[in-house]
Structure 1
Amino acid sequence: MKISFLNRKRYWKIVLPAAAILLASAPLVAQTDEEGGEASAEKHALITVGGQYVDVELTNSFERAILRVSGPEGYALTRVVSAQEGRFITADLLMDAEYARQAQAEEPSPWLTLPDGVYYYEVSFEDSIRASHSQSGSFRVRAGAVEVMNSNSAITHPSFRKIRRLANALFDSLVPTAQADTFDNFVTIANPSGTGLTRLNLTDQAGATITAGSWRVVNNVSDNNRFEIRQGASSNRLVILQGGNVGIGTNAPQSMLHVARTGGFQLRLEGSGNITRMDSFGTGGFRIAQAEPGQSLVDQFTIARDAPANSFGIGADGAVSLGTLAASGGITAGGNVTVNGNLIRLTGTSTFPEIQVQQDGAAAVGIATDSAGRLRFRAPSGSTRMTIEPVEGNVGIGTVAPEAPLHVRRSNGSAQILVEEASNANVDLFTLKSGGATLFRMLPNNGARSWEFRTTAGGTQFAIASPNVPGIEFRLSAGGNAQFQGNVTANGVLLTSSRESKTDFYPLDVSDVLERLSRLEISQWRYKHEPEDVVHIGPIAEEFHEVFGLSNGTHLNLIDTNGITFAAIQALNEQNKRLTEENSSLTARLERLEQALKL
């Protein structure tokens, strides 16, 4: 095998023991300066890996520092700290890690134990004045316990001149017959044996033994111009075919990038602490999760493993289809749509941004908004059937300008409200409730006299009134008393007078009632609100109450007046009876006297 590095201006060859080159290569890359001189690696932080944590003490100036830890089975941890938050980063390897995304699990879950294997950490420092720099290291977990492997190594970026010098020494030492050349900043490795196969073995043990921790770079495998990176004896980690297809975890990539893994895979994109991660599981599920600096990953897009065909699509015009390929408009769903969030927003430049609901073969009805922010429910003809205005929330049915919380309007004589209970249950079909007086009003369109049905503030009276005139035309108290502003006309008035409804009976001196009645003034008068030609005859309530002690001094109770009348009639009847008897006696005496005179 011939390995050549050729430079235009000069040619050199360095031969060193292979073991020395392998031991010296890593620190040589980490600690040489850009111009080839030797310098000590600057440590910007003190990093401690404990039993279940990573502790970072930042020793140099910085604006923001980011700690990243990666490990087996998709383990990942990210912590971000700014200079204002302090100079320490402490991360719990279990509690602060991103949730585990197992192949069979529907949702991510916290890590219960650390999976065994090698973990790599890196602390990156960002500073607007100084160049960005970082430190990295690794540790191993065995049976859940942390074993530190390497830490606190500062990472710089060596120039190609350093790599060239190191490669010359390395290849000449590994292969004594090799010749290392560079040409125009290209490194060329060739196999002069004629087999067409070129290999580069990186192993963790001396000799030619290939272990599980070894890595091999192989070119022109089986003469089909394929490139492989292998781990161990035959496990291909990366394959590049002659046609350009790249395979990760597969020997036969069928696409430009083909990733195959039994338990699924993850793709992580990160910049300035912002993370986007795509997960694909062996069961077929797929997720996209994102996180801002210092925050936990949150699922943003998910496709379940049993999602049907055409679950999601975007057409050439930007139309989105869900469950169908026949996308028309912005979003088309071929099935039910469920929104678990708190907001659905439609924006558009048309007069009415609208949601339409349509049964197959029928005209569509719509829900739209207008320039005034009103929500409109529109008929297939485009006319508005119901409106909700945005300020007070007034609802208009048959009007786009509701003047009340509920405004129903028709212009064809069909305006009405129907509340129906189909069962035989006793229910409240209409309720009015207010902290003050409660009323409903009847008002004609011509603005003529209106009527109100109302209660008083305490709810002790029900009243019927017309706001156009003073006073209340009708009152009904909670005790059942009724009061009318005007006359009452009826075919009959029935007054309760059953003995069963009465108590406290006492004998009455009807002669006294008659005597009092004779003292009661009976006059002619009219009510103040009545026309002047109206005449009434009767007592005054105040005098009636003063003479008899009945009624309330303001009103006359017909039961009382009727009772007084009945008692007076009885008294008059008794007087008439006595007078009749006296007349009969006097007539008899007169007849006897006349008989005596005739004799």
Structure 2
Amino acid sequence: MSTSKTIQVTIFAAAIAVICSGATAQDAALYERHTLSDALVFESKDIVGLETEVDMIITGPEGFHLRKSFEAGERIEFIPTVMAQDGLPDGTYRYELRVMGSHGLSSDRNSTQPVRTEPLQGGFGAFSVRGGQIVSSNLAEVSHSGSNLLATNGASEQTVEYGATQEQTFVQDVEIQGSLCVGTDCASSENFGFDTIRIKENNTRIKFDDTSTSGSFPNHDWQLTANDSANGGLNRFSIEDITAASIPFTVEGSAPSNSLYIDDSGRVGFGTSAPVVEAHMADGDSPTLRLEQDGSSGFTAQTWDVAGNEANFFIRDVTNGSKLPFRIKPGAPSDSIFIAANGDVGVGTNAPAGAMHIKRSGNVIPLIESTDNNAVQLRFKSDSTNRRFLAVNSDNQAESQIVFGDGLIQFLGQTANDNLMEVDATSLRVNGAIVSNGMTLNVPDYVFEDDYVLMSIQELKTFIDKNSHLPNVPSARDVNENGLNHTEFQLRLLEKIEELTLYTIQQQELIERQGEAIERLEKRLGELN
């Protein structure tokens, strides 16, 4: 029979009489744990559990960490041979069932649907692995001085007699001038050392049972618990709220020194006994604060980390692929980013003079880059026609401006009256001369060089008849299709003017020669007459 079928038959046939690991405080959890030698199975206690989405988180020896999600109504089980292919190393493991969402609860803060204000508790606890097998929790340790026996719970449970005991009741104050040992394993000649009160047996608990029943007197019962009772449970010290069925404080065995330290000024140290601020976290590698919205109140689960190391101070979006949307490098200057009380943002300044103020020495070059060569835009959004760039001096006075109106771009000087140039859909208007200069301008004075080959008038006529435009001048079709380079076009027009000048000079020379010839002919005719 497969493991899954074995689990199913075992549970629903109630063939295993096991109890949920943990103290009474776990009764408020949505799920009850069943421990098999090859699996952990969790059953819902009520309809809420059946409609709840859960993440199972398991941590253990050698850095073992597992997180698996279960949909509402899905069987919640941990099978080491399936989820850990190499097998589990021996040791103690901790598990938590983290509620990630519940059907019928809103995931939208603006929704009118009900939102649970108290988080749902899936349950938590521990189990042990020995020889690759999960240690069964249906064993209880027998309390017997000097021995370490185990007895099986159930009908065949062994009863161990310790001899006659006698209860005593004191109706007055009791003073003990010496040490006190309480528990079934206390010896008749106990060596107390410096211990004043010693609790000595295999299940050590101190319970505070408040019997207040009237008025609004506080009446919660509390308990100090040392270690789980179940086989394979946690080595832990806990403060339990018995009345509320919760465990607000737990310290695991072998936790390092100064895991939590509060000094005489109320400063809290995590990993340090010398906190220097209100909350001081010390660690050898990237001390981190995790903010996890776990879905237990109906909102979408989301996890953020705030951390720092020698490379960055950063915020990590754990839920979405551990992206780092915000980072600061060590050594970044003061006021690298500053947000004023009115919402103005300063970059390099703590006194922003506008909604965004960038201040630094040297070249200041804001850069907008497209990583995929897509569109890059800088937008001015307003129904007003006063959308503009301003160039100001050190006294914050405008020296020049570019105004982006509705279908109009204006280039201004210090004021709106200094209208240097306007561009709209129909024209370009310049208040002043247009000057084009540069080393690449090929001014056509070469036309006047002796080696310049000038087309004859007849060749020019033939070209015009064939092409309907002057040589080396773009046709109307070229201009419509490819646009017009005004500088180049002006130079070509100048070339045509210079060629026309040469044609005019040639014609003038021809006219003068013809005039001289006519004058000679007229003189000879006069002599003949």
Q: With structure 2 as the length reference, what TM-score do the two structures score? A: 0.44
Higher relative contact order (CA 8 A, sep 6+): 2
